[in-house]
Each structure stands twice: as C-alpha cells, then as structure tokens.
Structure 1
C-alpha cells in the first residue's frame, strides 16, 4: 500500500489539495470528560507521518497516549489519566503514586524522585518543619500545568508542532521550583522531543531530583523484544530478578503474578554525549530508540513489569542512583539549586519503522566503545 507521507510534500502543494492543513497535521485542545479523568486538559499532537502523542496539561505536562500509524506504543496501566484532585500524596505509605502511573511519560520530581521517606528540611528555616516526607517519585504528577503556547509552525516543506507549558511546585516555607517543558514533533517525522528546564524561584537552597519514567507497551513490548543498550555493568538489581530468574533481555510473554524487576545499568555515553538505548520487536519490523543527555541524567533504570494485565517496560533516565535521596545526601551527590539556578534536560523518543532504521540504531548502539 502506498504511504503518501513517507516523502515530505511541499506545503504549497498541500494547500492546493485541502482547505485546512489540520487535515494533514495539527494540534487539538481537548478536555477529558468522563470518569476519574474528568476535567483533565490535554493537547493531541498529530503529524502527517502517523505519529500522535497526547500532552496532559493537568498531569504535570506529561505524555499520555501515543500511537504510530494506529499502533499504540505508550503503555497503559488501567489507571487512566486521573484528575490530580483525586491524588492522595501521603496515602498508602507513600505508594499512592502508583494510582496515577499511566501513559508514555510520567516524570519524577521536582525536589524528590525514587522511593520516599522522611528527610531533613532544616534548610528551609521554618522551626515547625524540621523534616519533609516524600512519597514515591515526588509530587509533580499531581500538579496541574499552565499552558504557555501552541505552535503549528509550517515551513516551505514540513515544519514543527510544538507546545510549551510550565508546572510550579511550591509551598510556603519550602520549595519553590518551576518546570518549563517543551514537547515537539516534526510535521513529517517519527520522533517526539521533550526539552525541560527546572529552576529555583525561591530564595532557599533547595534539593532537586529528576527522573523520566518512560513507559512502553504492546505491541512494541512483546515476547522476545530485545533491549539494546551499551551496558558497562549492572550496578543494582531488585531481589525479584534473582527469585524469578527472568533476564533483563529479551522480554518474556505476560506472566500472571509477575513481581516487578528493576535493574540499574551503567551505560556508556556516545561521542555526542548522549545515552542511547533501543527496544526492538522480535520480528525486527518495529522498534523504539530513546536518547537523552548523559551529563544531566547519567543514571538509567530498566523497569520490567511483565505482569499479565499490566504488561510493559519502563526505560528510566535519572539524575540519581536507584538508592534514592538519602543515599544522594549521604554521598554528596544530591543536586542543590540556589535561587535562580537551573538544570536543563532533554529526551527523544524515535520510532524505528524501517529495516535501515532498525539496523542503523542497533549498529550505532552496539558500536559504542565500552
């Protein structure tokens, strides 16, 4: 079957053939209006090549549903994109975040990520608050964002669909951090790009942790799907990896009652300073390449959720090791932001949909000197 948009078509020629370029590509503003999702604002970016991604404004500007030419690649947990007003940050021993975990990208931060606990807060100089308690992966997921701009930037040939927003995490006598996020896809293209800046608007020295919980689902995750990564060594693995004996690659079929497995892999960055991994389907007809800046997110976790009904794989760039905040404090590895200081992050998710793209990605990753 002919795929019309495998080769970009000049915009002037497209205008001759349609009265509205949104027939080809565009951004649609929506509001989810049923069940636990009711009231969540979202933006759907849809390009000419068949890439579609949903930006959840009211869920920390994270990424929800994602499809390539009709095939889903973002993982769905069954939780739905719950309205943040339903979130109970301190419930279930700090694990209530699991009730909000859904979609392609769920970001951990801004002052805490990884498992929770109680931590020193004396740096905020508020005597009644000597400690602060964090749940799993922090508070960002349940904070509504502020939409700053929507751009459908058509060029002579192609162009870019771009949205920008900000999320403020703040409390009196505590942190006052801002995430500014840009999400973009090319009008003709197969890649989602996320550009993030976190800065400290407050005047107190504030801890900062950041994690991308990037979640992939079936049919990209399937029995025999292979994780390709320049792994120098494995720094950590959950006890379940020994007890269940399931390797980090290839992926098994769904398993009833599977206990999540988490691996921390030490990766070797490429010559461009980026970390890069890929997931390749067993038939080698489709894959996904993920890349990010190794300088600001030097650590990487693989989250295997091979449980039947929850089947998915998490690829998780992180600013910190899996041991979490207390370990980072004890070792001096925790990032502290002074007033006006910032950290920049970027993430790219590319669909590999041709034999050349798959071969090129695999060769590029496996040829990185360890």
Structure 2
C-alpha cells in the first residue's frame, strides 16, 4: 500500500546540523503552519497544520476545541469525513434538534465530548450551583465542548541534535454564570521522526462549586483503513453492552462489513484488559495487513471503551471511543455513584497516543502489543 521510502528515512535521520547544511529552512522537512479556513461553513476556523519528516500530517482545529481534523500518513487518508465539514462554532445551535445537533459537528479524526456531560442528553439536577431560577440543566449529545473555540497558547518546533518534537498547546474554557467553570488544557505532540502523535489533556475545575465532569474521545477512522474485512483488535474481556441493531444486521464487532444502504449505527461497550505497560490498547487493521491504526491510552482517566460502527453508504467509518464513564451516561452515573465530581482546583489528566501502522511488520507488531503476545 505504501511505496518504499527507506532511502529517504535513512537520509532524513541525519543529525540536525547536517540537515541544516542541506537546506535554508528545516520547514522543508517538518513544520507547523498556522492557517485559517476561508470557505463555506468552515470560514474563520483557525487550524494548525503539522507535518513531520516521515510523511505524517495532522490538522489541529483551534476553533473546534483543539480537536483533530484531517490525518494523513504518506498521502494515505486516515481520518473519517462525514460531510459536515469543520463548521465554525458560531453556527452551532447547542440546544437544537432535541439535543442531537451535535451530530452536525461530527467530522474529522477527533471530536471530544464533555466537559460536564457525555453520551446521550437529558435533564439533571443542578442544585449544587445554588441558582434557584435554574434548578436543573439540560444536556445534548456529548455536551458542549466540541463547539467551543480554544485559546492558542504556544506553537513549538523543537529541533534537537537528532529529530525533535513539533508541539502545540491550547486551552478551552467551558463556563456559565451560576454553573460550571471547567478548563481543558490540551497538548498535541508529533515527533519529527515517526508515525504517531500524542494527546495530553488536563481538565480542572476553576469554579467554587462541586461540578460534574465527564470526558470522551470520539476518534473516527475512515477508508481505506476502514474496509470490508478490516479487523478490530482488542483484548476484550467481555461485552458490557451492545445496541439492539447488532442482533439484526449480521455485522460483527471484530470484522467490518462493506458499506450498506441504511445501515443502523452499532455500538459496543467492551471491557478491555490492561496491558503490562498499564495501558489500554486497540487497533484497526486492514485485512491485507498493509496498514492500520493503533490507539493506546491511560485507563486511569478513561477506563471505559466503546466501538462505534457507522457502516452505511456515504458515512462509512468506525469510532474508537475511550470514555471516563459507562455507556449509560450521566443519569446512570449519578444513580450508581460513579459520576466524577470535581471540587474547586481539582483536576483530571488524560494521556493518549496514536500510531499509524505502515506495512505487515508494523501491523503484526501492533496486534502482538494489543493482545499481549509480544513474547
């Protein structure tokens, strides 16, 4: 699936001082470019285009919660595209469509859910905020986070003696008078050499009221990684929940089917084993083993995981979803005592890495890591 670029890999891994002898600008090999999208519903959305020396390109959407839009590796598209585009947040109507308007923002590689609510919407008690005119609060699907613009904190091209790191930081504040006041600070790092990137998030309660906190990553992968026969690989201990459509459509969780007209979305909640390194890992691997995506994260912050299949014509994609809470959502979490409550100054940390797998050796190694068979 990939062309042989071993000669270039060897050449580019020279000491940085040698690369400087061969170009007037190291941006020839790796860079971060600040741009603004300028057409249609995307007009005015700031983005950071990060490109490393091995052909990895990712796009951080500053005005879309510092989420990640397009991802490519050596020209191969990895991220799922829904057709919505990266809509400017000013166009988003959070309360519309009975809380399902979030679906109009769902596009690209990472769409984050939170910060005080994830999963399906509803009405919950808000008495902790001591504001009598609003005794309850209503939430839509996956909360408000994904339609909030970030404040760009820093852009760093940290070249070292060999390689280095491309790093961007931003923060998003979700706040209202007499309600939540939560801040997400996000760091995205791409090694100058390599086939992956890292997301490091910290959420803190800046308010002085005890505040609910829920967090979810909707990591969306499309064709050609998602294809008929593509395999979901995970060390699944048991299935905690699955949507009713899984019984009717004959589409299993572990092997993807071809696009189907009118396919009804399918969701599983898998209980995953923790690896020897203390991480949760899953992967999507093409049937021919030529390419794949591996996801690893710290289960301390996100102990739960959902697999989302949207295998219909024109929407063909899979979501890998680490989550702070079970699929029952906020009402269930409040009822069973599993809700996360943050007091003033309390925080939670989330660490995740994404690796693009180029070739059969890389996909075989990822399978062994995920299943704990590295020997």
Normalising by the smaller structure, the TM-score range is over 0.9
Q: Deviations over 1:55-93 (max 9, x none)?
A: 000000000011000111011000000000000001001
Note the C-alpha offset of 1:151: 0.3
Note the C-alpha offset of 1:12: 1.2
1:105 partnered with 2:110: yes
Q: Deviations over 1:282-326 (max 9, x none)?
A: 110111110000111000000000011000000000000000000
Once residues 235 and 199 of structure 2 are traced to their aligned partners in structure 1, the CA distance between those partners, rounded to angstroms, is: 22
With the length of structure 2 as denominator, give the TM-score of the two structures.
0.97
* SS of structure 1 residue aligned to 2:240: strand
* 2:164 matched residue in structure 1: 159
Give 1:260's match in structure 2, choosing from 261, 265, 268.
265
Give 2:343's match in structure 1, choosing from 313, 330, 338.
338
1:276-287 matched pairs, under 5 angstroms? 276-287=281-292
1:29 partnered with 2:34: yes
Note the C-alpha offset of 1:368: 6.4
* SS of structure 2 residue aligned to 1:52: strand
With the length of structure 1 as denominator, give the TM-score of the two structures.
0.98
CA 1:241–1:2 in 2, change beyond 3 Å: closer, same or farther? closer
* 1:129 matched residue in structure 2: 134
Note the C-alpha offset of 1:2: 4.0
Once residues 349 and 335 of structure 2 are traced to their aligned partners in structure 1, the CA distance between those partners, rounded to angstroms, is: 24
Once residues 9 and 111 of structure 1 are traced to their aligned partners in structure 2, the CA distance between those partners, rounded to angstroms, is: 47
* SS of structure 2 residue aligned to 1:329: helix
Q: Deviations over 1:29-49 (max 9, x none)?
A: 000000000000000000000
Give 1:309's match in structure 2, choosing from 281, 306, 314.
314
Once residues 367 and 142 of structure 1 are traced to their aligned partners in structure 2, the CA distance between those partners, rounded to angstroms, is: 38
Q: Is the 8 A contact 2:275 2:372 kept in 1?
A: no
1:188-199 matched pairs, under 5 angstroms? 188-199=193-204
Once residues 61 and 6 of structure 2 are traced to their aligned partners in structure 1, the CA distance between those partners, rounded to angstroms, is: 30
1:115 partnered with 2:120: yes
Give 1:60's match in structure 2, choosing from 55, 59, 65.
65
Unaligned 5+ segments in structure 1 are: none
* SS of structure 1 residue aligned to 2:53: coil
* SS of structure 2 residue aligned to 1:113: coil
* SS of structure 2 residue aligned to 1:358: helix
* 1:353 matched residue in structure 2: 358
Give 2:19's match in structure 1, choosing from 14, 17, 39.
14
Note the C-alpha offset of 1:266: 0.5
Once residues 121 and 102 of structure 2 are traced to their aligned partners in structure 1, the CA distance between those partners, rounded to angstroms, is: 11
* 1:220 matched residue in structure 2: 225
Once residues 5 and 357 of structure 2 are traced to their aligned partners in structure 1, the CA distance between those partners, rounded to angstroms, is: 19
* 1:51 matched residue in structure 2: 56
Once residues 85 and 255 of structure 2 are traced to their aligned partners in structure 1, the CA distance between those partners, rounded to angstroms, is: 28
Q: Deviations over 1:195-226 (max 9, x none)?
A: 00000000000000000000001001111000
Once residues 370 and 86 of structure 2 are traced to their aligned partners in structure 1, the CA distance between those partners, rounded to angstroms, is: 34
Aligned residue pairs total 369
Unaligned 5+ segments in structure 2 are: none
CA 1:202–1:2 in 2, change beyond 3 Å: closer, same or farther? closer
Q: Is the 8 A contact 1:270 1:368 kept in 2?
A: no
Once residues 2 and 255 of structure 1 are traced to their aligned partners in structure 2, the CA distance between those partners, rounded to angstroms, is: 36
Once residues 368 and 282 of structure 1 are traced to their aligned partners in structure 2, the CA distance between those partners, rounded to angstroms, is: 19
User: Structure 1 runs of 4+ off > 6 angstroms?
Assistant: none
